[in-house]
Structure 1
Amino acid sequence: MTLHYWSTCGTCGEAMKVYKGGEEQLAHPRCEERPNYTQRLLRKFVAAASDSHHDRAGKIAAEIEELDARAPRLLEAALAYAEWDWPVFPCQTGGKTPLTANGFKDATTDPATIRQWWVRWPTANVGLATGHRFDVIDIDRPDGTWSWDALRDSDSVPPIHGVATTQASGTHLYIEPTGDGNLTKVRPGIDYRGIGGYVVAPPSVGEKGAYRWAVRPSPTIKRRKARR
């Protein structure tokens, strides 16, 4: 069985099958890629360095470093997830512990509530309740890497609709919700997050680094809320 990965085309916004891991595929081959600001800066840096324009390359490099050093836009991300109908709640800065009284049970898509939380805790990490719009296969290193190599070659893994790397070099695989609950140690180093579970989402930051999207979520697990 061939395991399929799906993402969202950065140009047309439709579902996009991902090839070669997906890290560099931002748009359909038929669509013209629409690079973001950071990508445009990187291309300008490469062009300046290739033409030996060292002063210009140095200024662009400094701008890229300044962007990398900025605090993550946690509230902005939380509101974006809520727009996808993903229930959100705040977790402690640099960690995974929920900050609200009922933890993931307080997760909501209400923008006003989300803004209140991040006004109170502006550096809170972003938690997502699983089992609603998606479930997550949680792979931890090193054992999970070997387990995943065997598991992905079986016919028991559904299509992947988003891939996030964790601050501890682990991986979160987002799949369509199955109605199942949490399962620990499905295989060595692999847990399953379904109903009654949660994950920390990009661009949250932990002790060992940031959470990042390696393959952006596909339209299959995103749903735009109707505006009133």
Structure 2
Amino acid sequence: MDTTPDLWPRPLAAVQRAAGRDTVADAAVLLAAAGVPVFPCRPGEERPRTPRGVADASRDPDRVAWWWSRYPTANIGMPTGAASGIDVVDVGARDGGSGFPAVRAAQRAGLVDGWGLMVATPARGLQLYFPHAPGSEQRSWSGIGVQVDFRGEGGYVVVPPSLALDDADRPVAYRPIMVARHRAAPVDAAALRQLVEPSRPHRFSSAWAAPDATAGPAVLATWLASRPYDGRSRRLSWAARRMAEHGFDRTSTLTLLGPAAHHTGMDEQTIEQTVASAFRQPAPLRAPARAARAAAELARAVPAPDPMTRPGGPDRRPPEVVSL
């Protein structure tokens, strides 16, 4: 279905077309051929599959095809910001909370009206895709105390038709659910953050009070940003080690934890040095139980030789064309 391409920047149109492909390999090659850089992530996850993560992203269709010939079940990672021409507002719904009230407030304030594509995530969340403003640099950030994150410079997202496990550990595809009729326009990430982020972030019960060692990036980032200034380097180092144990590389760790560390007053050089030092510390790498279950579920659910064929049913319906 044609969706008024004259209103759409080419990268957004490419993401929508890729979502309709039957396999992630075809989708990844389509994106690269359209000039949108991509890189493989681990099956059913957001963790990069390549050594340098988002820094390895490529627009070369041949290189991308080679990656997916080696890793046919890999999810598709896409750098955000100037690299792809796309910024993303990521709305979460996890741990008994939701970012939807905050994003509805942003909608009432007219701060997210320029979205071009809405993508439903397997975890019942939502991603709003916006065109990146040429010449601007809006850094990625994680909302403190709310489940609204911005993925711009230095960030990345997993794009359709990638798969992940839902709350019941069932493989579900990322999929477009709405396409805008209006002209897509950039989002003001600074104004959005000022609106949605509470003035008093959530406080843990003590100065250290570390989360469980199996906590994911969102919990670790919230913990880092809500701690007192004293001991912030030690906490960042601890969190970076947890990320390494979960299989994240150094680049991805900086992308996911860096904004939270910066929120405490740490400068970029200190953040980079602390994370680099943490990754040099020897520690056994152990995969979380959920990641192991994800691999097993995806192996059972996806048949060979096309293991990333999208499931049938509702996910194969064309996206609805709407305007807010």
Of 96, 101, 106, 1:146 maps to 101
Of 132, 139, 143, 1:185 maps to 143
Q: Scaled by the length of structure 1, what TM-score is found?
A: 0.64
The answer for the alignment partner of 2:127 in structure 1 is 172
Q: Distance in 2 between matches of 1:217 and 1:74?
A: 24
Q: Distance in 2 between matches of 1:200 and 1:78?
A: 11
CA deviation after TM superposition for structure 1 residue 176, in Å? 1.7
Q: Is the 8 A contact 2:24 2:74 kept in 1?
A: yes
The answer for the alignment partner of 1:128 in structure 2 is 78
Query: CA-atom RMSD, angstroms?
Result: 2.8
CA deviation after TM superposition for structure 1 residue 79, in Å? 1.4
Of 26, 31, 36, 1:81 maps to 31
Of 212, 215, 218, 2:175 maps to 212
Q: Is the 8 A contact 1:127 1:200 kept in 2?
A: yes
Structure 1, unpaired ranges of 5+: 1-9, 18-37, 39-70, 222-228
The answer for the alignment partner of 1:14 in structure 2 is 5
SS of corresponding position for 1:143: coil
Q: Distance in 2 between matches of 1:188 and 1:100?
A: 30
* Structure with the larger helix share: 2
> More relative contact order in 1 or in 2 (CA 8 Å, sep 6+)?
1
**Judging changes above 3 Å, is the alpha-carbon distance between structure 1 residues 147 and 220 closer, same or farther for their aligned structure 2 residues?**
closer
**Judging changes above 3 Å, is the alpha-carbon distance between structure 1 residues 112 and 172 closer, same or farther for their aligned structure 2 residues?**
same
For residues 176-195 of structure 1, give each alpha carbon's deviation from its aligned partner in whole angstroms, at most 9, with x where no partner exists.
21421111106711000001
SS of corresponding position for 1:82: helix
* Structure with the larger strand share: 1
SS of corresponding position for 2:99: helix
SS of corresponding position for 1:213: strand
The answer for the alignment partner of 1:21 in structure 2 is none
Q: Scaled by the length of structure 2, what TM-score is found?
A: 0.46
Q: Distance in 2 between matches of 1:119 and 1:217?
A: 34
Q: Distance in 2 between matches of 1:153 and 1:192?
A: 18
Q: Distance in 2 between matches of 1:217 and 1:123?
A: 30
Q: Distance in 1 between matches of 2:98 and 2:74?
A: 29
Where does 1:90-169 land on structure 2 (aligned, <5 Å)? 90-132=40-82, 133-141=85-93, 142-169=97-124
**Judging changes above 3 Å, is the alpha-carbon distance between structure 1 residues 138 and 122 closer, same or farther for their aligned structure 2 residues?**
same
SS of corresponding position for 1:126: strand
CA deviation after TM superposition for structure 1 residue 197, in Å? 0.4
Alignment identity in percent? 32
